[in-house]
């Protein structure tokens, strides 16, 4: 589906665009506690996208021109938060305690609470930092 060849440099460039793209498209923070999956994306991920594993911890939905259209983190609480302990308290503050069968959506663009704004900034920084590390190896 993609028209460009995926390279490390392209991934790094596109991941750096996520904060701007997310703001422009109104991405929301969605945590499916039952499945343990976290999304940073529009309310509905566009159907013309493909999911690509970027690191061992997260994947990005890209359109055919390799524009990022959303982020998915599998095993959010059991893996991602364990490797990034700075997310533990803010995740509980923002999404509450784990209740099975609960999906919580937070819109950091509309919500004026400190946790939503801080979480969004921390997440974007973490996504960018991980692909720009000297030792980053493409998973794709």
Q: Spell out the alpha helix ranges (H) of 3-113.
A: 8-16, 18-25, 81-83, 88-95
Q: Say if 97 falls within a structural domain.
A: yes
Q: Say if 24 falls within a structural domain.
A: yes
Determine the pLDDT at residue 110. Answer: 80
Say how many domains are in the chain: 1
Across residues 115-129, what is the average pLDDT?
93
Question: pLDDT tens digits for 8-34?
Answer: 888 899 999 999 999 999 999 999 988
Check: CB of residue 92 under 8 Å from CB of residue 33: no
Give the list of residues 6+ apart from residue 79 with CB closer than 8 angstroms, or none.
57
Across residues 46-71, what is the average pLDDT?
92
Q: In which residue are the tokens 């400190």 written?
A: 114
Question: pLDDT tens digits for 84-106?
Answer: 999 999 999 888 876 666 889 88
Across residues 56-62, what is the average pLDDT?
92
Determine the pLDDT at residue 100. Answer: 62
Question: pLDDT tens digits for 77-86?
Answer: 889 999 999 9
Q: Two tokens at 61?
A: 């939905």
Q: Say if 119 falls within a structural domain.
A: yes
Q: Say if 49 falls within a structural domain.
A: yes
Determine the pLDDT at residue 1. Answer: 57
Determine the pLDDT at residue 114. Answer: 83
Q: Residue 124's domain spans which residues?
A: 8-132
Q: Say if 109 falls within a structural domain.
A: yes
Across residues 44-49, what is the average pLDDT?
92
Q: Give pTM, 2 decimals.
A: 0.89
Sign, Cα dihedral of 121, 87, 73, 41: negative
């Amino acid at each position: 589906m993609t028209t460009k060849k995926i390279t490390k440099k392209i991934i790094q460039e596109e991941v750096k665009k996520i904060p701007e793209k997310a703001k422009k498209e109104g991405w929301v923070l969605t945590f499916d506690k039952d499945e343990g999956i976290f999304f940073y994306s529009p309310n509905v991920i566009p159907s013309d996208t493909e999911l690509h594993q970027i690191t061992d911890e997260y994947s990005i939905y890209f359109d055919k021109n390799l524009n990022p259209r959303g982020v998915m983190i599998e095993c959010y609480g059991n893996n991602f938060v364990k490797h990034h302990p700075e997310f533990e308290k803010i995740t509980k503050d923002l999404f509450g305690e784990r209740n099975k069968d609960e999906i919580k959506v937070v819109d950091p663009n509309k919500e004026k609470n400190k946790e939503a704004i801080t979480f969004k900034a921390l997440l974007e920084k973490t996504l960018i930092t991980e692909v720009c590390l000297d030792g980053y190896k493409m998973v794709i």
